[in-house]
Amino acid sequence: MNIRHAVISDREQVLQLLNEASREWKASDKPSEVGSSIYEEIIKREDTVIFVAEENNKLIGLVTFYLLPNIRHGWHRGHVEDFFVTKRMRGKKVGSKLFDAIKTYCRKHHIRVIKLDSSNENIDAHRFYEKNGGKQTEKMFRFDL
């Protein structure tokens, strides 16, 4: 298994993984229909990285990592979105290896804090985050406009 940063040519596989995630999370958007145009923008940004796990030239997991400046603390923090491993590869350390890659990236770039949000119902993911050193420290609120 190889963990690396996504590139432009990964677009279709990334979108298909996100389609699978959306079905599982019962989300209304279909990433391959709504996310294709923004994919290239994300890949080109210096403050955003999509980490992908690849095995035999097939993407089996991904995480989108955003770098956010924090004026109050005077440093940058990381924010994780769309952490997903395809169902058939769960329990095989794919997620832990993705998280390790994010932590290594953060240490290299002097990022001291990583935050993420997870739906209240996603108990398996909560256990995974705790197993990987995460602590629940706050509540997240959503405002649909």
Taking the complete model, does pTM exceed 0.85, yes or no?
A: yes
> Residue 139: which pLDDT band, with cuts at 50, 70 and 90?
confident
Residue 19 CB burial class (10 angstroms; 0-12, 13-18, ≥19): middle
> Residue 95: which pLDDT band, with cuts at 50, 70 and 90?
very high
Calculate the CA 28 to chain-centre distance.
19
> 2-131: what CATH class?
alpha beta
For 65, phi then psi, to 5°, come to -120, 125
Q: Where are the beta strands (DSSP E) in 26-134?
A: 48-55, 58-70, 75-85, 114-116
If one counts every other C-beta atom within 10 angstroms of the C-beta of residue 98, the result is 25
Query: Under DSSP, is residue 134 helix (H, G, I), strand (E, B) or coil?
Result: coil
pLDDT tens sequence across 83-92: 999 999 999 9
Domain segments of the chain as ranges = 2-131
Q: Which tokens sit at 130?
A: 């705790």
pLDDT tens sequence across 54-94: 999 999 999 999 999 989 989 999 999 999 999 999 999 99
pLDDT tens sequence across 9-34: 999 999 999 999 999 988 888 999 89
DSSP tally for the chain: helices H, then strands E: 5, 5
